[in-house]
């Protein structure tokens, strides 16, 4: 379970303020996949980063029961001079999991072949993304933070990635950001619509998607 308590965050640039969280009070239930919907710049990714601890709110707090992943697929913590194998082992040790099991999982899932034992600096962005997704999903968490990660790879890899997410969500919850409403409907049970720093929680995903679409149409008019 994750609870946002009086959570606030404002970005200020060139005398202009953008509110991404305005005194938010939200509870994300355990073992429930909750989508965050909103226009570009609404603060969806910022909200995920605050929940993960990577971004400090201006006010309020995030209360967490259980374990929470870093944003799935985030590759920023990889050391470029270490190989994919070495980075995977290091992360496994940090999180206290069986490093051999994690290495086997990531090596098979990421489909990197010989590149798995080569330095990260030699990877393409797609290769880094596949490695990051494999490491993220190779560790069991109570709640996964997912930000557009299944967009990486070819069509077959996307299908495999979504299948893995489904398998994890049979035992865990998620906070899920995606621009694909079809994907949101397939994977999520609840949804939040984020607009101007305010959030409305829906237990009906179809209703949330409809509200989101109406807001987007309003932006275009």
pLDDT beneath 70, residues of the chain: 75, 149-153, 219-221
Q: What is the DSSP string of 14-82?
A: TTEEEEEEEEEEEEE-TT-EEEEE--TTSSHHHHHHHHHTSS--SEEEEEE-S-EEEEET--TTS-TTS
Burial class (CB in 10 A: 0-12, 13-18, 19+), 154: exposed
pLDDT of residue 66: 94
- Confidence at residue 221, expressed as pLDDT on a 0 to 100 scale: 42
The full set of domains in the chain, from first to last, is 1-67+143-152+173-221 (3.40.50.300)
Dihedral over Cα of 37, 206, 149, 105: its sign = positive
Residue 123 DSSP one-character state: -
**Radius of gyration of the chain from Cα atoms?**
18
pLDDT on residue 125: 85
pLDDT for res 161 = 86
The pLDDT, as a whole number, for residue 35 is 97
pLDDT of res. 147: 84
Which H or E run includes 160? helix 155-169
Residue found under tokens 């985030």: 74
């Amino acid at each position: 379970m994750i609870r946002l308590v009086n959570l606030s965050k404002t970005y200020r640039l060139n005398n202009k303020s953008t509110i991404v969280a305005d005194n938010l009070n939200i509870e994300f239930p355990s073992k429930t996949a909750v989508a965050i919907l909103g226009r570009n710049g609404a603060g969806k990714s910022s909200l995920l980063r605050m929940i993960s601890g990577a971004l400090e709110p201006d006010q309020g707090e995030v209360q967490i029961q259980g374990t929470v992943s870093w944003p799935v697929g985030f590759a920023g913590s990889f050391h470029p001079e270490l190989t994919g194998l070495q980075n995977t082992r290091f992360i496994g040790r940090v999180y206290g999991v069986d490093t051999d099991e994690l290495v086997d999982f990531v090596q098979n899932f990421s489909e990197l072949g010989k590149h798995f034992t080569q330095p990260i600096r030699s990877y393409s962005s797609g290769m880094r993304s596949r490695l990051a997704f494999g490491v993220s999903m190779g560790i069991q968490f109570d709640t996964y933070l997912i930000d557009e990660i299944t967009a990486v790879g070819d069509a077959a890899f996307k299908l495999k990635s979504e299948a893995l997410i489904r398998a994890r969500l049979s035992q865990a919850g998620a906070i899920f950001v995606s621009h694909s409403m079809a994907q949101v409907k397939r994977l999520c049970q609840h949804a939040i619509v984020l607009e101007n720093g305010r959030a409305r929680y829906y237990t009906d995903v179809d209703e949330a998607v409809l509200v989101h679409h109406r807001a987007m149409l309003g932006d275009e008019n």
